[in-house]
Structure 1
Amino acid sequence: MDDVNAHHRQRMKKIKAARDRMMESKTEEKGLIIVHTGAGKGKSSSGFGMIMRCIAHDMPCAVVQFIKGTWATGERDFLRQNFADQCRFIVSGEGFTWETQDRDRDIAAARAGWEAAKTLIRDPAVRMVLLDEINIALRYDYLDTGEVVAFLTRERPEMTHVVLTGRNAKPQVIEIADLVTEMTLVKHPFRAGIKAQPGVEF
């Protein structure tokens, strides 16, 4: 057993030394464009996890929620009830597109959300803005992808993080992003006839 532990310590020392050298080379700090996309679950959940971290670090933050509309979500209620002074929460949309069945209304709601998002992103006091499900609004051309990309690359303050969630992120958005994660669907209870449940889906 002593030989095993000694071998483990030596191996970990080498890994730590390599890791320390790598970390010494990472000196730049900047605001990031972060994309969570893919067919798997967890895109919004990950974005809201980052919002919780911002609150814990006393970093003012904001959420603009596209598409979901009036659907009661735990994250919206939690943030509005407990952290309204640290995280602004804007709902833009009247529900999923198959619920509204009115493209003009969906476009108007998305545009209103994007205008609010631009105001929040321009404010250098706001350190992170989560654009929840904006990729869906871009996918359906409710918003102009070129306009969104141009704004994020030209007008976003240097230290502001912006997180974009939703399936089917446009290639132009992925191109400008600093961090892109694709959630892969392996298994989902919905396919087994299990409905969306509080605490898991919303």
Structure 2
Amino acid sequence: MNDDHDTGASIDGTVGDDARHAMKMAKKKTARDKIMASKTGEKGLVIVHTGKGKGKSTAGFGMIFRHIAHGRRCAVVQFIKGAWETGERTLIETHFPHLCAFHTLGEGFTWETQDRARDVAMAEKAWEKAKELIRDEGNAMVLLDEINIALRYDYIDLDEVLRFLAEEKPAMTHVVLTGRNAREALIEAADLVTEMELVKHPFRSGVKAQIGVEF
């Protein structure tokens, strides 16, 4: 006795659900393979993670850890969160300092320091370090964590950042810029932009930042 569902064929000869799905996926694979075959180029990308949702720095560090896993040298510059002791920082500095240089040059959010001149000085120092690390072609990726906040408050000059990325970034170096409220000109210049959308956050229910989730 034939089981029409298992064989993919019904009694009247029409195609069953399983066979129809297989045919659909085969067509999709053919089309996908054709598209992938046409994508042969490589380049160092300018990548922006922005938006009000959680996960911007987390996504950036995910890329850093991928580079570490592949034995590729990389670097991190933190523009704002330098005062925080984070799990990423501890792991990298403890186990992978030979693969990832980690520079914490921020001192906290601007409402904590309450000193614009100091914030500007620290952001400019972080940007100088970022340029040094990006120019070093030995670094396959450089993460500029929370630089978008420094750009938003005009702690560093947006035009200077855009000019540097366009003219001085090595061709195969990836640069990741995180932080909410990315400037439109940066979004336009970037190769890859992801906006994290806030749907729900435990902070609104009175839950504080927790170890292993936020830091």
Shift of 1:119: 0.5
| 1:44 partner amino acid | S
Match in the other structure for 2:152: 139
Q: Which runs of 4+ in 1 moved over 3 A?
A: none
1:128–1:160 Cα contact (<8 Å) kept: yes
**Runs (5+) with no aligned partner, structure 1:** none
Shift of 1:139: 0.3
Match in the other structure for 1:100: 113
| 2:173 partner amino acid | T
The SS at the match of 2:128 is helix
Match in the other structure for 1:193: 206
| Match 2:76 to one of 63, 69, 75 | 63
The SS at the match of 1:130 is strand
Q: TM-score, normalised by structure 2?
A: 0.93
1:69–1:96 Cα contact (<8 Å) kept: no
- In the TM superposition, what whole-angstrom CA distance separates every residue of 1:41-75 from its partner, at most 9, and x where no partner exists? 00000000000100111110000001112111111
| 2:32 partner amino acid | R
In structure 1, C-alpha distance between the alignment counterparts of 2:91 and 2:72, rounded to whole Å: 17
The SS at the match of 1:26 is coil
| Match 1:169 to one of 154, 175, 182 | 182
Q: Is 1:127 the counterpart of 2:140 in the alignment?
A: yes
In structure 1, C-alpha distance between the alignment counterparts of 2:102 and 2:112, rounded to whole Å: 22
Match in the other structure for 1:78: 91
Match in the other structure for 1:151: 164
Match in the other structure for 2:25: 12
| Match 2:61 to one of 48, 70, 74 | 48
- In the TM superposition, what whole-angstrom CA distance separates every residue of 1:128-182 from its partner, at most 9, and x where no partner exists? 0000000000000000000000000100000000000000001111111000000
Shift of 1:5: 2.1
The SS at the match of 1:190 is helix
Q: TM-score, normalised by structure 1?
A: 0.98
Larger radius of gyration: 2
Match in the other structure for 1:37: 50
The SS at the match of 1:187 is coil
The SS at the match of 2:44 is coil
| 2:150 partner amino acid | A
The SS at the match of 2:35 is helix
Q: Is 1:23 the counterpart of 2:75 in the alignment?
A: no
- In the TM superposition, what whole-angstrom CA distance separates every residue of 1:104-146 from its partner, at most 9, and x where no partner exists? 1101110110000000000111000000000000000000000
Total equivalences in the alignment = 202
Match in the other structure for 2:123: 110
| 1:173 partner amino acid | L
| 2:40 partner amino acid | T
